Amino acid sequence: MKETILRILLAHSKIDNVTPESNLLTDFGLSSLEIAEIVCEIEDELDIEIQDKDLVHIKTVRDIYEYVEAI
């Protein structure tokens, strides 16, 4: 699961060095649209659904890992 998320993140041109503490906005400079695209890719790859209301709580790579592991 972490490998899939990492692969998706690294596929985006703005992202080159990923750590669990990496912040999607400040470290990667992603827009909300780009984050939504990444979330859609993760949902498709892992066959899950991330609730829109939960997206505001996802700030770091670790947040993504923990959210996906919890569902």
| Alpha-carbon gap, residue 3 to 22, rounded angstroms | 15
Residue 20 CA neighbour count, 13 Å, CB half? 6
**pTM of the full predicted structure?**
0.89
Question: Which domains are assigned to the chain?
Answer: 2-70 (1.10.1200.10)
pLDDT tens, 27-59? 999 988 999 999 999 999 999 999 989 988 999
For the cut 80, the answer to whether the pLDDT of residue 13 exceeds it is: no
